[in-house]
Amino acid sequence: MPGRLILRRPSPTTVSFTVSNASRHTSTPAKILFYLQILLRALVFFCVVFFNIARLRHSFFNQDGSLVHWSTIWSSPLGSIVSRIVDSYSAWVVVILSAIVIYGVFRKGYTEESLLVIRGLGIQTSTSSLTYLSKASTRFIPTTQIQDIVIHEAFKGFEVRFYLAIIVDGESEVVVVFPKLLPNRAILEEVWRGSRRCLYDSKS
Protein backbone atom coordinates (compact mmCIF):
# COMPACT_ATOMS: atom_id res chain seq x y z
CA MET A 1 0.00 0.00 0.00
CA PRO A 2 1.57 3.26 -1.03
CA GLY A 3 2.13 5.75 1.70
CA ARG A 4 0.41 9.06 1.95
CA LEU A 5 1.72 12.28 3.28
CA ILE A 6 0.22 14.21 6.17
CA LEU A 7 1.64 17.64 6.62
CA ARG A 8 1.30 19.50 9.90
CA ARG A 9 2.50 22.97 10.59
CA PRO A 10 1.96 23.75 14.27
CA SER A 11 4.03 26.93 14.15
CA PRO A 12 5.69 28.94 11.36
CA THR A 13 9.09 27.56 12.28
CA THR A 14 8.03 23.97 12.68
CA VAL A 15 6.79 21.52 10.15
CA SER A 16 6.07 17.85 10.48
CA PHE A 17 5.75 15.43 7.62
CA THR A 18 4.18 12.12 8.33
CA VAL A 19 4.07 9.31 5.85
CA SER A 20 1.76 6.51 6.65
CA ASN A 21 0.33 3.56 4.85
CA ALA A 22 -2.59 3.25 7.24
CA SER A 23 -6.01 3.33 5.68
CA ARG A 24 -7.95 6.48 6.35
CA HIS A 25 -11.32 4.93 7.26
CA THR A 26 -13.39 7.58 5.56
CA SER A 27 -16.29 5.54 4.33
CA THR A 28 -18.82 4.08 6.73
CA PRO A 29 -18.12 0.41 5.99
CA ALA A 30 -14.43 1.07 6.46
CA LYS A 31 -15.13 2.67 9.80
CA ILE A 32 -17.33 -0.21 10.87
CA LEU A 33 -14.65 -2.62 9.79
CA PHE A 34 -12.11 -0.69 11.78
CA TYR A 35 -14.16 -0.83 14.99
CA LEU A 36 -14.94 -4.48 14.42
CA GLN A 37 -11.26 -5.10 14.13
CA ILE A 38 -10.61 -3.43 17.48
CA LEU A 39 -13.38 -5.49 19.01
CA LEU A 40 -11.96 -8.67 17.58
CA ARG A 41 -8.49 -7.86 18.85
CA ALA A 42 -9.86 -7.30 22.36
CA LEU A 43 -11.81 -10.53 22.19
CA VAL A 44 -8.86 -12.55 21.06
CA PHE A 45 -6.71 -10.96 23.74
CA PHE A 46 -9.15 -11.93 26.49
CA CYS A 47 -9.45 -15.41 25.06
CA VAL A 48 -5.72 -15.87 25.21
CA VAL A 49 -5.61 -14.55 28.76
CA PHE A 50 -8.39 -16.90 29.72
CA PHE A 51 -6.65 -19.88 28.17
CA ASN A 52 -3.48 -19.08 30.03
CA ILE A 53 -5.32 -18.73 33.27
CA ALA A 54 -6.92 -22.08 32.60
CA ARG A 55 -3.52 -23.58 32.13
CA LEU A 56 -2.33 -22.17 35.43
CA ARG A 57 -5.53 -23.03 37.36
CA HIS A 58 -3.84 -25.72 39.46
CA SER A 59 -1.07 -23.52 40.78
CA PHE A 60 -2.69 -20.10 41.15
CA PHE A 61 -6.27 -19.82 40.18
CA ASN A 62 -7.88 -22.60 42.14
CA GLN A 63 -8.97 -20.72 45.24
CA ASP A 64 -12.06 -18.66 45.01
CA GLY A 65 -10.98 -15.07 45.29
CA SER A 66 -13.07 -12.22 46.40
CA LEU A 67 -13.93 -11.22 42.84
CA VAL A 68 -13.99 -14.38 40.85
CA HIS A 69 -15.17 -17.79 41.86
CA TRP A 70 -12.65 -19.86 39.98
CA SER A 71 -13.99 -23.20 41.00
CA THR A 72 -17.40 -22.44 39.56
CA ILE A 73 -15.76 -21.23 36.37
CA TRP A 74 -13.74 -24.39 35.96
CA SER A 75 -16.75 -26.54 36.61
CA SER A 76 -18.92 -24.68 34.12
CA PRO A 77 -19.23 -26.27 30.66
CA LEU A 78 -17.14 -23.60 28.91
CA GLY A 79 -14.53 -23.75 31.62
CA SER A 80 -14.26 -27.51 31.44
CA ILE A 81 -13.88 -27.49 27.65
CA VAL A 82 -11.16 -24.87 27.83
CA SER A 83 -9.42 -26.79 30.59
CA ARG A 84 -9.52 -29.96 28.58
CA ILE A 85 -8.10 -28.29 25.46
CA VAL A 86 -5.36 -26.57 27.40
CA ASP A 87 -4.39 -29.68 29.33
CA SER A 88 -3.93 -31.69 26.18
CA TYR A 89 -0.94 -29.49 25.18
CA SER A 90 2.33 -29.01 26.96
CA ALA A 91 3.10 -25.75 28.70
CA TRP A 92 5.63 -24.68 26.05
CA VAL A 93 3.17 -25.00 23.22
CA VAL A 94 0.68 -22.90 25.06
CA VAL A 95 3.27 -20.26 25.89
CA ILE A 96 4.58 -19.99 22.36
CA LEU A 97 1.15 -20.00 20.78
CA SER A 98 -0.16 -17.36 23.11
CA ALA A 99 2.93 -15.24 22.56
CA ILE A 100 2.34 -15.35 18.82
CA VAL A 101 -1.34 -14.52 19.18
CA ILE A 102 -0.58 -11.67 21.62
CA TYR A 103 1.95 -10.29 19.14
CA GLY A 104 -0.69 -10.51 16.43
CA VAL A 105 -3.16 -8.72 18.61
CA PHE A 106 -0.85 -5.84 19.36
CA ARG A 107 0.74 -5.67 15.95
CA LYS A 108 0.12 -2.50 14.06
CA GLY A 109 -1.33 -3.01 10.66
CA TYR A 110 0.49 -0.03 9.28
CA THR A 111 3.73 1.86 9.44
CA GLU A 112 3.99 5.52 10.10
CA GLU A 113 7.15 7.46 9.64
CA SER A 114 7.59 11.10 10.24
CA LEU A 115 10.04 13.90 9.85
CA LEU A 116 9.83 16.86 12.18
CA VAL A 117 11.73 19.93 11.16
CA ILE A 118 12.22 22.77 13.62
CA ARG A 119 14.09 25.78 12.39
CA GLY A 120 17.19 26.61 14.37
CA LEU A 121 16.95 23.42 16.33
CA GLY A 122 17.15 20.45 14.04
CA ILE A 123 15.40 17.53 12.53
CA GLN A 124 13.79 14.58 14.17
CA THR A 125 13.03 11.44 12.24
CA SER A 126 10.80 8.80 13.67
CA THR A 127 9.65 5.42 12.60
CA SER A 128 6.67 3.82 14.22
CA SER A 129 7.25 0.55 15.95
CA LEU A 130 5.75 -2.72 14.87
CA THR A 131 3.37 -3.09 17.78
CA TYR A 132 1.20 -0.84 19.84
CA LEU A 133 3.21 -1.66 22.92
CA SER A 134 6.60 -0.26 22.06
CA LYS A 135 7.41 3.33 21.28
CA ALA A 136 8.48 4.74 17.95
CA SER A 137 12.21 4.90 17.35
CA THR A 138 13.34 8.45 16.84
CA ARG A 139 16.50 10.22 16.02
CA PHE A 140 17.22 13.88 16.46
CA ILE A 141 19.82 15.66 14.40
CA PRO A 142 20.70 19.19 15.44
CA THR A 143 20.95 21.85 12.75
CA THR A 144 24.66 22.25 13.23
CA GLN A 145 25.25 18.69 12.23
CA ILE A 146 23.09 18.71 9.15
CA GLN A 147 25.14 19.11 6.05
CA ASP A 148 22.40 18.66 3.53
CA ILE A 149 19.16 16.98 2.78
CA VAL A 150 19.15 15.15 -0.53
CA ILE A 151 16.99 12.88 -2.58
CA HIS A 152 18.86 10.04 -4.17
CA GLU A 153 18.32 6.63 -5.64
CA ALA A 154 19.52 3.25 -4.54
CA PHE A 155 19.03 -0.41 -5.25
CA LYS A 156 16.65 -2.16 -2.96
CA GLY A 157 15.70 -5.69 -3.76
CA PHE A 158 14.83 -5.86 -7.42
CA GLU A 159 14.09 -2.17 -7.61
CA VAL A 160 15.71 1.18 -7.70
CA ARG A 161 14.02 3.40 -5.14
CA PHE A 162 14.21 7.06 -4.36
CA TYR A 163 15.00 8.00 -0.82
CA LEU A 164 15.35 11.13 1.19
CA ALA A 165 18.55 11.26 3.13
CA ILE A 166 20.15 13.60 5.60
CA ILE A 167 23.87 13.92 5.35
CA VAL A 168 25.12 14.23 8.89
CA ASP A 169 28.41 15.77 9.84
CA GLY A 170 31.00 13.29 10.95
CA GLU A 171 29.09 10.19 9.96
CA SER A 172 30.12 7.95 7.14
CA GLU A 173 26.58 6.92 6.35
CA VAL A 174 23.62 9.07 5.59
CA VAL A 175 20.46 8.97 7.65
CA VAL A 176 17.60 7.76 5.51
CA VAL A 177 14.28 9.40 6.25
CA PHE A 178 11.23 7.14 5.92
CA PRO A 179 13.47 4.06 5.67
CA LYS A 180 10.66 1.54 5.76
CA LEU A 181 8.04 3.06 3.56
CA LEU A 182 10.34 4.68 1.01
CA PRO A 183 7.51 6.77 -0.44
CA ASN A 184 7.45 7.73 -4.04
CA ARG A 185 9.23 10.60 -5.65
CA ALA A 186 6.36 13.08 -5.54
CA ILE A 187 6.05 12.80 -1.77
CA LEU A 188 9.79 12.92 -1.29
CA GLU A 189 10.10 16.04 -3.36
CA GLU A 190 7.37 17.75 -1.38
CA VAL A 191 9.01 16.80 1.90
CA TRP A 192 12.39 17.82 0.58
CA ARG A 193 11.17 21.24 -0.52
CA GLY A 194 9.20 21.81 2.63
CA SER A 195 11.98 20.80 4.98
CA ARG A 196 14.60 22.83 3.16
CA ARG A 197 12.35 25.84 3.16
CA CYS A 198 11.73 25.41 6.82
CA LEU A 199 15.35 24.86 7.68
CA TYR A 200 17.17 27.33 5.51
CA ASP A 201 14.75 29.81 4.03
CA SER A 202 14.21 32.46 6.66
CA LYS A 203 11.49 34.26 4.74
CA SER A 204 8.94 31.49 4.77
Partner 1 sequence: MPYNIAMVSDFFFPQPGGIESHIYQLSTKLIDRGHKVIIITHAYKGRTGVRYLTNGLKVYHVPFLVIYRESTMPTVFSFFPIFRNIVIREQIQIVHGHASLSSFCHEAILHARTMGLRTVFTDHSLFGFADASSILTNKLLKFTLSDVDHVICVSHTCKENTVLRASLDPLMVSVIPNAVVAENFQPLEQGGPPSSIGPNDIITIVVISRLFYNKGTDLLIATIPRILSSHPNVRFIIAGSGPKAIDLEQMLERNVLQDKVEMLGPVRHEEVRDVMVRGHIYLHPSLTEAFGTVLVEAASCGLYVVCTRVGGIPEVLPQHMTTFAKPEEDDLVMATSKAIAALRSNKVRTDRFHDQVKMMYSWTDVAQRTERVYKGIQGDISPEEFYGYYPGQGWEASGDRVRSFALIDRLKRYYGCGVWAGKLFCLCVVIDVLIYVFLEMWFPRVNIDIARSWPKKLKQKEVADSTGNGPDRVSSTT
By CB under 8 A, name the binding residues for partner 1. Answer: 2, 150, 152-156, 158-163, 165, 172-174, 176, 184-185
Q: How far is the CB of 152 from partner 1 (least distance, A)?
A: 5
Closest distance to partner 1 from the beta carbon of 113 (Å): 16
CB of 173 to partner 1, least distance (A): 6
DSSP character at residue 135: P
Smallest CA-to-CA distance from 49 within 102, 118, 3, 127 is with 102
Sign of the C-alpha dihedral computed for residues 68, 72, 74 and 80 taken in this order: negative
Closest alpha carbon to 79 in 61, 99, 91, 100: 61
Q: How far is the CB of 181 from partner 1 (least distance, A)?
A: 13
Between 60 and 158, name the residue whose CB sits nearer to partner 1. 158
How do beta strands 122-127 and 112-118 pair? antiparallel
Residues in the chain: 204
Closer Cβ to partner 1, 105 or 113, answer by number? 113
Closer to partner 1 by CB, 38 or 160: give it. 160
Nearer to partner 1, 74 or 178 (CB): 178
